[in-house]
Amino acid sequence: MSSELTPAQQLEKMRRDWDDRARENARYYVNTERDDWTDEQFIASGERTIAEEILTDMGNICQGKDPQQMRVLEIGCGAGRVTRALAGVFGEVYAVDISGEMIASATRFLADRPHAHPFQNNGTDLSVLNPHVADGSCDFAFSTIVFQHIPSRAVIETYVREVHRLLRPGALFKFQVQGYVEQDGVAYESTPDDTWIGVTFSDAQAVELAEKTGFEPRHRHGANEQYFWLWFFKR
């Protein structure tokens, strides 16, 4: 396929590719550490992510609020690996993913977690949540290993604007983007029709993204690395 995709064709390609990956081996493509995850191992992997990125950071995330009273968002929930662990900490979790196959897998995996709500979305905004989640009613948003796969700066920017719409003022969107600017001396570049390698953000581009979407980019960690973490606080 040529690189000259319309935005709609690009979203369709993302959905199709992730549905194919989910049909082949959802848990492997969610976390490529293993291709034979058991339920127990997959649960433990989500809990490790939460232990590293959430439980170490409860001051920024909760800001004095009881986690059980918090409503959180997750972008790109895949098979529910992190969603399940988030639901062990927070009162309500609303999660979206572009792939219906991933959402079917997440729905099965979260069947005993009635306060975790996975939805298939259109791959760029959070309108699917509008009947359930009012603007300004969410306390925290999270995303990991998702934007690093999205080959469109415009799609990522739309997500950041949408998260801003749903968060309450002051709340945090903590998320990871691809931070490689070059690898082995070669510029790291995505192409519009490759749905595995996403666009990369320099530190300056991360700051610019925050400023134009109404966030304060208070902390950043891992610039020039694959796991470039951003702490965006809603102004």
Q: Which residues bind ligand SAM (CB under 6 A)?
A: 14, 18, 29-31, 76-78, 81-82, 97-99, 102, 123, 144-146, 149-150, 155
Of 146 and 177, which CB lies nearer to ligand SAM in the complex structure?
A: 146
Q: Give SS3 for 85.
A: helix
Of 117 and 149, which CB lies nearer to ligand SAM in the complex structure?
A: 149
Write the DSSP string, 144-163: -SSGGG---HHHHHHHHHHH
Of 67 and 76, which CB lies nearer to ligand SAM in the complex structure?
A: 76
For residue 208, the Cα-to-chain-centroid distance in whole angstroms is 19
For residue 203, the Cα-to-chain-centroid distance in whole angstroms is 19
Q: Round to whole Å and give the CA distance between 172 and 233.
A: 4
H-state helical runs in 31-109? 39-53, 58-62, 81-87, 100-109
Residue 172: CB minimum distance to ligand SAM, A = 17
Q: How many CB atoms lie within 10 A of CB 45?
A: 18
Torsion (CA) 86, 92, 95, 101 in degrees, nearest 10: 90
Residue 143: CB minimum distance to ligand SAM, A = 7
Q: Which residue is nearest to ligand SAM (CB)?
A: 78
Of 86 and 172, which CB lies nearer to ligand SAM in the complex structure?
A: 86
Of 10 and 171, which CB lies nearer to ligand SAM in the complex structure?
A: 10
Structure tokens at 128: 């699917």
Residue 120: CB minimum distance to ligand SAM, A = 9
Residue 141: CB minimum distance to ligand SAM, A = 12
Residue 178: CB minimum distance to ligand SAM, A = 12
Which residue in this structure is represented by tokens 């895949």? Answer: 78
